């Protein structure tokens, strides 16, 4: 994964995205706050559910000169509730309500992979 100054993932017991939960309001903040944040004492680090539903998406068609194939970007609603934006992989064209799971990615930090069934 790329080197980031804040945590995106917790690897044990299974890889999962992490967020910070405000101890008073319960509001989730993603990515999780860094240990040196002045707000860290008001938050706890919590894992996010790895599977959610597509809320909205768009398909990007890069210039032919780029050599990149079309790809989808979208918002995925995870339980919590929290809505994350990222690349949608595993299907040529997603649909609203499709289920996607968060996966680690070296280039982007995380992507969403289509869940079959």
CA-wise closest residue to 32 among 22, 45, 41: 45
pLDDT value, residue 13: 72
**pLDDT one-digit tens code per residue, 13-62:** 777 899 999 999 999 999 999 889 999 999 999 999 879 999 999 999 99
pTM confidence score:
0.85
User: Quick one: CATH architecture of 51-114?
Assistant: Beta Barrel (2.40)
Q: What is the pLDDT of residues 54-103, one digit of tens each?
A: 999 999 999 999 999 999 999 999 998 899 999 999 998 999 999 999 99
The overall average pLDDT reported for the chain is: 89
- Please report, for the chain, the start and end positions of each structural domain, with discontinuous segments joined by +: 9-47, 51-114
Rounded Cα distance, 25 and 92, in Å: 39
């Amino acid at each position: 994964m790329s080197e980031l100054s804040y945590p995106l993932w917790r690897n044990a017991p299974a890889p999962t995205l992490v967020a910070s939960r405000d101890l008073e309001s319960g509001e989730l903040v993603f990515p999780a706050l860094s240990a040196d944040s002045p707000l860290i004492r008001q938050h706890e680090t919590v894992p996010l559910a790895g599977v959610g539903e597509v809320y909205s998406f768009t398909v990007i068609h890069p210039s032919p000169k780029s050599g990149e194939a079309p790809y989808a970007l979208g918002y995925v609603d995870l339980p919590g509730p929290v809505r994350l934006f990222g690349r949608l992989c595993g299907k040529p064209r997603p649909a609203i309500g499709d289920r996607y799971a968060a996966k680690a990615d070296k280039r982007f930090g995380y992507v969403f992979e289509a869940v079959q069934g």
